[in-house]
Amino acid sequence: MRIAIAQDGNRVSEHFGHCQAYAIFDVEESIIYRRDDLPSPGHEPGRLPVFLAEHGVDLIIAGGMGPRAVDLFHENGINVLLGISGNVDYVAQDYIAGRLSPGKSSCHHEDGGECDGAH
């Protein structure tokens, strides 16, 4: 399994489309055997789900993203876990140990717009 965690520094990014990079964790039999940082290619509508799929990602973890972005990740075979915060290394370990529960997406728009749209 390959997990991507949207990160700003060593913390989970609140908005996956605005993050500096993705911490990529390769996991086998509940053990992380590799971690790499993948710089974000920046904003381009619809690009990030394809970009991460091209890098073999199975799951993205972030603080938040809009519903259209979630749909695009699903269309690219990537599961999404939102409402997460904390240190990326601890979050990865907690996910693998089954201790990570999704929360409420940190993206909110009172005007009905979507956070990050289809990034």
Topology of the domain covering 2-96: Nucleotidyltransferase; domain 5 (3.30.420)
40-52 pLDDT tens trace = 998 777 899 999 9
What's the confidence (pLDDT) of residue 101?
A: 86
What's the confidence (pLDDT) of residue 109?
A: 44
| 10, pLDDT greater than 50 | yes
* CA distance linking residue 40 with residue 18, whole number of Å: 8
11-22 pLDDT tens trace = 999 989 889 999
Residues 6+ apart with CB under 8 A from 33: 26, 27
Q: Please give the model's pTM, rounded to 2 decimal places.
A: 0.88
Contacts of 36-41 with CB under 8 Å at 24 or more apart are 37/7, 38/4
Q: What are the residue boundaries of the structural domains of the chain, listed by start?
A: 2-96
| 118, pLDDT greater than 80 | no
Measured distance between the N- and C-terminal CA atoms of the chain, rounded to whole angstroms: 23
